[in-house]
Chains A and B, each alone.
Chain A
């Protein structure tokens, strides 16, 4: 389903990145990085006028290129999830993307609850990795 999933920390530092094709990782890191600017922009836009109506954590499509579409999601603790999908994949609806983010958020909450995990550190949990892979492959 997705080709790359990344988790970005509060201060925009990368915490986790995983992609279907490991050799492309650097390439995706650039893409994710670029998309962060859009995230910031969107966050500022929503925080001002109708703050209480838009409690929405899903940011929607950040931008798209010929090859990829990039979606974003931000938790109330300012952790950002970025999902990159193939542009050719037209079967993916908005709903499915939302679903992916929701699963991502819940597995993220689980690993934060691990007493040995230090918040703010790079995520090295195998359980998280496994679940993210399964989300990426779409099952």
Chain B
């Protein structure tokens, strides 16, 4: 029989190195684009590209199947945060229709040392996360939108990421078939 789960090596990276790498990336983007909105967009795009690959790793690693409903999805997202960032955001503020929820972060390794300068208060520093969610869920046929409604870096008491379900994406029908 083939072995199971033994070949995944537990590579660890120092969290400061990770935080500084992400910080250097964002501040370099700020220098290159000199425009906060453009930087937000670039971060999201990068996140998207991460997401469409990360989801495969997540599925391969956890062996999870399809979600039953959006609540199930929310829990899987939460477990992914634990797996990849070592944090467990709280799931809260469900909308009455059950298609929208918030992830609340008490701590966030991305923002550990960060203090936003006055000229980039519109910067969504962690916008890469919204992109990751979008990319990852799109790969499992779910179209979602997400945005930060509260940000610790801007003086809010916590960081809150709102996730909204839009629609299910259907599998494409192969060309020449009916």
- Name A residues whose Cβ lies closer than 8 Å to a Cβ of B: 110-111, 113-117, 125-127
Could you say which residues of chain B place their CB within 8 Å of the CB of A111? Answer: 113, 115
- Name B residues whose Cβ lies closer than 8 Å to a Cβ of A: 16, 19-20, 22-24, 26-27, 30, 112-117, 120
CA of A114 to CA of B120, assembled, Å: 14
Nearest A residue (CB) for B28: A115
Q: Knowing A125-B115, A127-B115 are in contact, say whether A113-B26 is a contact too (CB < 8 A).
A: no
CA of A131 to CA of B112, assembled, Å: 16
CA of A110 to CA of B27, assembled, Å: 16
Query: 13 A-B residue contacts at CB 8 Å?
Result: A110-B113, A111-B113, A111-B115, A113-B20, A114-B23, A114-B114, A115-B20, A115-B26, A116-B23, A116-B30, A116-B115, A116-B120, A126-B115
Could you say which residues of chain B place their CB within 8 Å of the CB of A117? Answer: 115
Nearest first, the 4 closest Cβ-Cβ pairs linking A and B are: A115-B23, A113-B113, A115-B27, A114-B113
Nearest B residue (CB) for A115: B23
Could you say which residues of chain A place their CB within 8 Å of the CB of B120? Answer: 116
Could you say which residues of chain B place their CB within 8 Å of the CB of A116? Answer: 23, 27, 30, 114-117, 120
CA of A63 to CA of B117, assembled, Å: 37
- Contacts between chains A and B (CB distance < 8 A), count: 33
Could you say which residues of chain B place their CB within 8 Å of the CB of A110? Answer: 113
Nearest B residue (CB) for A110: B113
Could you say which residues of chain A place their CB within 8 Å of the CB of B19? Answer: 113
Could you say which residues of chain B place their CB within 8 Å of the CB of A127? Answer: 115
CA of A125 to CA of B115, assembled, Å: 7
Could you say which residues of chain B place their CB within 8 Å of the CB of A115? Answer: 20, 22-24, 26-27, 113-114
Please give the distance in Å from B24's CB to the nearest CB on chain A. 6
Please give the distance in Å from B128's CB to the nearest CB on chain A. 13
CA of A20 to CA of B40, assembled, Å: 40
Extra inter-chain contacts (16) besides given A115-B113, A116-B30, CB under 8 Å: A111-B115, A113-B16, A113-B20, A113-B23, A113-B112, A113-B113, A114-B23, A114-B114, A115-B20, A115-B23, A115-B24, A115-B26, A115-B27, A116-B27, A116-B114, A116-B115
Nearest A residue (CB) for B22: A115
Nearest A residue (CB) for B19: A113
Of listed B19, B20, B30, B113, residue having the most chain A CB within 10 A: B113
CA of A109 to CA of B71, assembled, Å: 41
CA of A111 to CA of B112, assembled, Å: 10
Of listed A110, A115, A125, residue having the most chain B CB within 10 A: A115
Please give the distance in Å from B70's CB to the nearest CB on chain A. 35
Could you say which residues of chain B place their CB within 8 Å of the CB of A114? Answer: 23, 113-115
